């Protein structure tokens, strides 16, 4: 999760039916009510990762009350 311009954003992994999983993004003002913004990494048609696409936040500050 991260915060930008007073909004919270959550990157999450979602099942793509019976095929695999994709990475999606959602937004919230209060951490209780979320608006799904859509896929940010979709399953490709072919390739070594054609059954899954997972993306995660890198280099996040995990200190509670930090700059986020």
Q: What is the pLDDT along the chain (68 residues), one digit of tens a residue?
A: 888 999 999 999 988 777 788 899 999 999 999 999 999 988 877 877 777 878 777 767 777 766 65
In sequence order, which ranges of 1-68 are alpha helices (DSSP H)? none
pLDDT of residue 67: 61
pTM surpassing 0.85?
Answer: no
Judging by beta carbons within 10 Å of its beta carbon (0-12, 13-18, 19+), is residue 27 exposed, middle or buried?
A: middle
Which residues is 8 bridged to in the sheet?
A: 3, 28
Judging by beta carbons within 10 Å of its beta carbon (0-12, 13-18, 19+), is residue 56 exposed, middle or buried?
A: exposed
pLDDT of residue 35: 98
pLDDT of residue 68: 54
Distance CA(51)–CA(3), nearest Å, equals 30
């Amino acid at each position: 999760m991260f915060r930008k311009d007073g909004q919270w954003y959550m990157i999450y992994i979602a099942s793509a039916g019976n095929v695999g999983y994709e990475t999606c993004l959602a937004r919230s003002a209060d951490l209780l009510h979320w608006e799904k913004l859509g896929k940010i990494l979709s399953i490709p048609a072919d390739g070594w990762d054609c059954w899954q696409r997972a993306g995660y936040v890198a280099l996040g500050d995990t200190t509670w009350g930090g700059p986020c």
